[in-house]
Amino acid sequence: MRSGSPGNSVVVLLSGGLDSTTLLSIFKTRGYTIFPISFEYGQTHSRELKSVEDLCSYYGLKGKRVKVEIPESTSSLTGNAEIMARSLEEVGSGIPNTFVPSRNAIFLALAASYAFSIGADRIAIGVNSVDYSGYPDCRPEFISRMEETVNLALGKHNAIRIEAPLQYLSKGEIISVGKTNNAPYELTWSCYRGDQVSCGKCDSCLLRLRGFMDAGLQDPLEYREFPDFYLEWIKRG
Amino acid sequence: MRSGSPGNSVVVLLSGGLDSTTLLSIFKTRGYTIFPISFEYGQTHSRELKSVEDLCSYYGLKGKRVKVEIPESTSSLTGNAEIMARSLEEVGSGIPNTFVPSRNAIFLALAASYAFSIGADRIAIGVNSVDYSGYPDCRPEFISRMEETVNLALGKHNAIRIEAPLQYLSKGEIISVGKTNNAPYELTWSCYRGDQVSCGKCDSCLLRLRGFMDAGLQDPLEYREFPDFYLEWIKRG
């Protein structure tokens, strides 16, 4: 099955969060044929996979969900440690215990395999290195080396491009881009704790709320409790 | 769990075939602590996973088996095309339909994640570019770029080495190396068809039998039928 048309089709890594949803809205606005791919890798916050489904329905896309085991992960994201509660200042300093070793290398290698098989010539990933969580596999050096690597693996010279259009944007800027493209943020999920309501305490909730604040927008999601900085901002009107 | 001791532990990609078994025998002979990893990726020749178990028992090792879905693979190895029957001359000319796109990139990214989690500082893979089956992800350029990529993904400089000691050896030379290290080739499996007895017709059987012939040794496995070149060699005594 080679259903992608060259030059106009993209495999989008969709996690159901803010960044990948913004990515989806960008390629949708540009008229691309989109093949979303998501991963079931034992994440405790599997609530995000519900968001992936909702986003695919919203955009009328057929998503591909791929199961992959992460061997011996010690990450809190795969249930092997406690999710930390840190201040916004601490977030981004050092590699947190949510780090799943080599996750983006695993996901991009799988996405490249998918892109090759369906004939898509690009892959989009929502990594960004400004307000990022300290993960080394979100940096531009990694992404560009990975692009070279998958093309060598596939025996093609520059056949597949890996695009990371959010790479140099802050979370607030990303949300502004998404708003311009009418990204349905009410369908997204960011919280590392996979409950019904976002916790408002984990790294991911803090970065998200700070992003909405910076973009001058209120987050449409429900939270168990808001962090002080967000409450104060809301109060100031 | 960080059970590997630095400098002396290795994650070995074990498929149950000749090459990875030779690899195992090399690191065993050198006294390394070995962590075999194997992949359940929907291969039709899942018979090889039985060989992985037998090899782990033989060497007294605890293997790690990882499940990973290959999205939309069109490969005959994952049941989506007929295994080809070609002559030995045709093998190695062009990419065959057994190609699973980006497979070694997927496997090495997962192995790197495993190595990082258990504290092993090297990964060994049995690729070789002499008598190889035409797969681009067996070439030295791919392996060295992949090594750079996983270290960038893990945020470590040269923390994990990817070794491919069989890279420049022919199949016959590989078998000679294995024999020197008492590799139990009777426990291995190479045939792409996952039956009880090797077919003697697929690329993998042809390369294997040619390798044994070149090494001056008889293959201990049973075959449904032998190719002419091997039969003639046996007859010549």
pLDDT tens per residue across span B97-137:
667 889 999 999 999 999 999 999 999 999 987 766 578 89
Counting DSSP H helices and E strands in chain B, the numbers are: 7, 5
Q: For residue B9, give the H/E element and its range.
A: strand B9-13
Q: Nearest Cβ partner of A105 from B95, B109, B117? A: B109
In angstroms, the CA A21 to CA B185 distance is 51
Query: How far apart are the C-alpha atoms of B154 and B141, rounded to whole Å?
Result: 20
CATH at A83: 3.40.50.620
Confidence class for position B192, pLDDT limits 50, 70, 90: confident
How many residues in total does chain B contain? 237
* Block residue for tokens 């962090």: A227
Question: Looking at CA atoms only, how far is residue A95 from chain B in angstroms?
Answer: 9
Residue A174 is assigned to a structural domain of this protein: yes
Cβ atoms B134, B126 nearer than 8 A:
no
**Residue A36 within any structural domain of the chain:** yes
What CA–CA distances, in Å, run from A41 to A22, A44, A54, A165, B80? 22, 9, 19, 25, 24
Q: Are the beta carbons of B207 and B171 closer than 8 angstroms? A: yes
Does residue B95 lie in a domain region? yes
Per the CB < 8 A criterion, the answer to whether B134 and B127 are in contact is no
Task: Locate the DSSP E strands across A97-153.
Answer: 122-124
State how far the Cα of A195 lies from the Cα of A181, in Å rounded to an integer: 28
pLDDT per residue as tens digits for the range A166-222: 999 999 999 999 999 999 999 999 998 867 899 999 888 999 999 999 999 999 999
Q: Which domain holds residue B23?
A: 9-185
Is A4 within the bounds of a domain?
no
Question: How many Å apart are CA B62 and CA B80, to the nearest integer?
Answer: 32
Residue among A72, A112, A146 whose CB faces B117 most closely: A72
The DSSP letter of residue A5 is P
What's the whole-number mean pLDDT along residues A22-41? 97
Q: Would you say residue B73 lies in a domain?
A: yes
pLDDT higher than 90, residue A38: yes
Q: Is A52 helix (H, G, I), strand (E, B) or coil?
A: helix
> Are A45 and A194 spatial neighbours (Cβ–Cβ below 8 Å)?
yes
Number of domains comprising chain A: 1
In a domain, B98, yes or no: yes
Sign of CA dihedral B23, A100, A47, A120: negative
Residue B25: inside a domain, yes or no?
A: yes
- Taking the CA of residue B37 and the nearest CA in chain A, the distance in Å comes to 9
Q: Judge if ipTM > 0.85.
A: no
Q: What is the pLDDT of residue B85?
A: 63
Q: Verify whether the Cβ–Cβ distance B100 to A113 is below 8 Å.
A: yes
- Contact criterion met (CB < 8 Å) for A113 and B137: no
